[in-house]
Structures are given as C-alpha cells and as structure tokens.
Amino acid sequence: MAEFFNEMYEAGQIRAPYARLGDWTEAMPAELRSLKQAEAEALFRRIGITFAVYGEGGDPDRLIPFDMFPRVFTHAEWRRLERGIVQRAKALNAFLVDVYNRGEIVRAGRIPAHLVYRNEAFETAVVGFTPPRGVFSHIVGVDLVRTGPDDFFVLEDNCRTPSGVSYMLENREIMMRLFPALFRENRIEPVDGYSEALRRTLASVAPAKCDGEPTIVILTPGPLNSAYYEHSFLADLMGVELVEGQDLFVEGEHVWMRTTRGPQRVDVIYRRIDDAFIDPLCSRPDSMLGVPGLMDVYRSGGVTIASAPGAGVADDKAVYTFVPEMIRFYLGEEPILQNVPTWQCAKRDDLKYVLEHLAELVVKEVHGSGGYGMLVGPKSTAEQVEAFRERIIANPANYIAQPTLALSACPTFVDEGIAPRHVDLRPYCLVGDRVELVPGGLTRVALTEGSLVVNSSQGGGVKDTWVLAE
C-alpha cells in the first residue's frame, strides 16, 4: 500500500488545522494523559456508553475505545463535504421514490433492473407508495475516507438505520469536560444541535392523517441490541418515548402506544429494527419485535416509518456503484464526492480481475455491514485469501471489490505515546422538509497499527471530530 496522508503533518510541518494541538500534546506528560484517559473511561462507564460485539463472548457492557486526540477539519474542507453529502442524500431519495414507482432510471438503462428488483432489500409491500415529502431515507450515514489533502471518497452509504451518532455527541461532551481550555482556544462548530434537528426532521414528515403536533417514538429491538444505548440516549435527548413492539398496537387507521393514561396515538416511528422484523404479518411471522398490521397503517397514510421500509435497496454495495449516475440523472449535476472504484463480481470481466488480484483488494459482501464478511487482501494470509476465493466463486453476485486505499491517518494516543492510526468519517445527514447535517460526524479509528478496519464491531475506536469555525 502506498504511503498514507498524515492529517496533522505535511512535509514535516504541522498543518494549519492542527496548529494548536501540537503545543497541547507537548504540554501533556504521560502521567496526565493516563489520568485523563482513565477519567474518560470512567465517564463512559458511568453514563452507560457501551457497544456489545456479537460473537465476542466477552463483556456485554464493553466500552467502545475512545481516543482523546481530536480529528480536525477546516471550515472550507467541511463545506465541500457538506455539499457533497447533501447532494448524495437528495439523489438517493429521488432514486428510492423512482424505483418504487415508475422506475425511470431503469427504463433509461442507467442501472440494471436485476440490481433493483431482484435485490433482497427491495420491499414489494411499498411498491406504488410515496412517503410524506418523498423521503424514504431520513437519516443517511455516508462513510467517507480521505487519501490526500483534497482527496475524499465515499466508501458506502447507509440509508436504513445508521448507528453511531450517540458517540459523536458523547465524544464531544467528554472532550469538553476533560479539556475545557482547548475549546476556549479553538473556535469549534457545535454538534449538540443534532437531537433537535432530528426531532424537527421527524416531525416534518408526519403522515397526512396527523392532527396537530405529531407524537414521535423510537422503536428498539430491546436491551440486547448492540446499539440499545444509542436508542435510549436519543429518546432522552429528543424527549420522546422509547418503545418495543409490544408497546404498540394497531387499531383502525392508526398506531397506538400503551401508556399508563391509556392508548396514545403515534404519528412517527423512528425505527431501529430491520425491515424483516417491522410487521410479522408482512415478513417474519415468528418475530416478536415488530407490530402486527403496522405496514397497512403505513401504506394508508396513518403513520410514518423512518427510515422507510425498503430504503435499503439504495445502500446495497452493488447499487452504490451507480450513485454518481443517480446524481446526474435526478439532479442534473456532477458528483461533488467520488466513489471508490469498484468491481462487481457479478460481471464476468470484473470477476476475472478480482480473482487474479485478490491478495491486493478489499472484497465485501454486497449486503454486509459492520466490517463482517469482508477480506482485506494485503492484511490477510494466503489461506484466508484462498478460502475467500472459494466463497466468491460459489456466489459471485454476493461480492464487490475495491482497491486497498491508503487511508489517511490521524495522531492517536497509544501505549508508546502518539502514533498515526487510520481513520474514516461518518457524518449524519437528516432529510425532511430540509436537508441538513451538523458540522462533524463520527470519526472511527483503527487502533491496531497498520489496520484499515475501523468498525466498532471489529474493535475499532472513536474520536471527537472538530470542524473549525470560519
């Protein structure tokens, strides 16, 4: 892999965005750093910020590793990213409205029909339905990587239930507690407006049958879910009820919530459960997580589900390759942010190239997430590469491949002191009566030296993300 871009240093000099952090690190002896790190961990534990890793068999109350060295973007860098993310979110929602109705982009031959209509994420129950304001994906998490001073790429889109925003907010809160002087010395854009923006976004997409102020709830699978902390955290911040499927029921044309004061009508459900579990009458009859009859009420305009059932067809990793085409087709614009070059193993020539260069590439499952089901060729053994080769040959359409990018690195506190570690960024774009995002996002960091896998589910950590004010 080529030499990576260090976001703090260029040609041996500290880059301007990090200018004040050089003095900050020099003024912090190892003993103080250890003390602050212990204080941060105690705060995370006291607040209850945990992230269970499925299959790990360890601590269900596992703390997500937090690195105290912030990642910094200039105002100009952020504005470019913001424009590109907003553009992408608009195009993805236009695509979803289109493919569940007339399918003009397919008719025009700009995307293959089978990638859409044979996609396991395509939800036939909402064909012909357009949700309020034409928004299918209300919270779009766009995963970005950087390879140079001006080079940013979109790694993937998350249009269903992107997680991690609670860490973005808590990272900032804890940094402000630990290092208040840093925030006095640096003019940093705030992120604490996210919860109010999310509530405003959800209220703006209330269904046609809503009278007055909409009642919003967050639907969670329950405490055993790895992101349960985030569900309860956001409910508290927004001042809305956190509910499980058993707390809701359908009667007449509406969804109702059981309360100590009797049934209360629900207008907007921010769901944090997968499509297959939303309504046992439509998908999995064995599921206790959803609400029987919910989809009928949804299609009749009695409730809004955010993000909408079927939104996942837009963040499929094979469909991802066509997002630049969506931007041109629906918006008549050129993409501001570029995709990572991608080979689709379903294509014969692409498959041939991937199999010949497997040890050089990153290969992902089309429907995979969280760092599972992927191969990082240069970091894998010959046995792992060959085992993955057999999986690809057995089901080529299930995989895409990308070059191993030289991800940028940000200084990170490690046992030996400070060292660069690779990072990515997930900003959260809210789509309702307007499209907006707070200045920042979740920076994930690969804490193992040389590792490119930043996912929290794979042992990665998180950092506070700063956007400097203009």
In a domain, residue 461? The reply is: yes
- pLDDT score for 170: 94
Backbone torsions φ then ψ of 253, nearest 5 degrees: -100, 15
DSSP 277-307: GS-TTTS-TT-SSS-TTHHHHHHTTS-EEES
271, 387: one domain:
no
- 252 lies in some domain: yes
349/331 same-domain check: no
User: Is the Cβ–Cβ distance between 223 and 271 less than 8 Å?
Assistant: no
The β-bridge relationship of strands 461-467 and 66-73 is: parallel
Could you tell me which of 422, 417, 441 has the C-alpha nearest to residue 430? 441
Q: Examine the domain organization and report whether 399 and 442 are in the same domain.
A: no
* Domain extent at residue 105: 74-166+186-336+424-467
Look at the chain and report how many structural domains it folds into: 2
What is the C-alpha end-to-end distance of the chain, expressed in Å? 35
Domain end marker among 357, 372, 403: 403
What pLDDT, on a 0 to 100 scale, did the predictor assign at position 370? 54
86 found inside a domain: yes
Report if residue 48 sits inside a domain. no
Is residue 225 domain-shared with residue 133, that is, in the same domain? yes
Residue type, 6: N
Q: Are residue 331 and residue 352 in the same domain, yes or no?
A: no
Whether residues 226 and 93 share a domain: the answer is yes
14: in domain:
no
| CATH code of the domain in which 386 resides | 3.30.1490.270
In this predicted structure, what is the pLDDT of residue 56? Answer: 47
The pTM for the full model equals 0.93
Q: What is the pLDDT along the chain (470 residues), one digit of tens a residue?
A: 458 999 999 888 999 999 999 889 988 888 999 999 999 999 888 887 766 554 444 455 667 889 999 999 999 999 999 999 999 999 999 999 999 999 999 999 999 999 999 999 999 999 999 999 999 999 999 999 999 999 999 999 999 999 999 999 999 999 999 999 999 999 999 999 999 999 999 999 999 999 899 999 999 999 988 889 999 999 999 999 999 999 999 999 999 999 999 999 999 999 999 999 999 998 788 888 899 999 999 999 999 999 999 999 999 888 999 999 999 999 999 999 999 999 999 999 999 999 999 999 999 988 766 556 789 888 889 999 999 999 999 999 999 999 989 899 999 998 888 999 999 999 999 999 999 999 999 999 998 888 887 876 666 899 999 999 98
3-state SS, residue 198: helix
Evaluate the omega torsion of the peptide bond into residue 283 and state whether it is cis, within 30 degrees of 0.
no
